[in-house]
Structure 1
Amino acid sequence: MEKSRGLYRSREHRLVAGVAGGLAERFGVPVWLMRVLWLLLLLPGGLPGLVPYIILWILIPEEPES
């Protein structure tokens, strides 16, 4: 079964909240690459990566159970 093209927090590729995994699935990039991008945003003091991550964690719904 093909996954929906909607944006959801991933249940399968989750380390914290599934935000990076969900974005990777939605845009068709490897999960590790999305995690590296978030890590790079966290390096200059945390806020450029942490604040958007928390906002997306709140706004993006969790992937429905299949």
Structure 2
Amino acid sequence: MKRTLSRPRNGRMLAGVCAGLAQRFGLSVGLVRLLFVASLLLPGTQVIVYLVLWILMPNENHA
């Protein structure tokens, strides 16, 4: 099965970016969400990267 980078229709919390990344790399969705929230404690552009991925990642049915 080929794993593509897309935002799934099911299992979304906000935009589905974390769920899509977890699905693509074979990780737990909870782990990816936890890592993202923990990364917010560090200085950086995490929110901007999330928004860019939200815009660039297609929905699952369009991939």
**TM-score normalised by length of structure 2:** 0.84
| Alpha-carbon RMSD | 1.8
Partner of 2:31: helix, strand, or coil?
Answer: helix
- Residues 1:54 and 2:57 aligned together: no
**Structure 2: which 5+ runs fail to align?**
none
The structure 2 residue matched to 1:25, chosen from 16, 20, 23, is: 23
**TM-score normalised by length of structure 1:** 0.81
Partner of 2:45: helix, strand, or coil?
Answer: helix
The residue type paired with residue 63 of structure 1 is E
CA distance in 2, matches of 1:11, 1:41: 25
Percent of paired sites with the same residue = 44
Higher relative contact order (CA 8 A, sep 6+): 2
**Structure 1: which 5+ runs fail to align?**
none
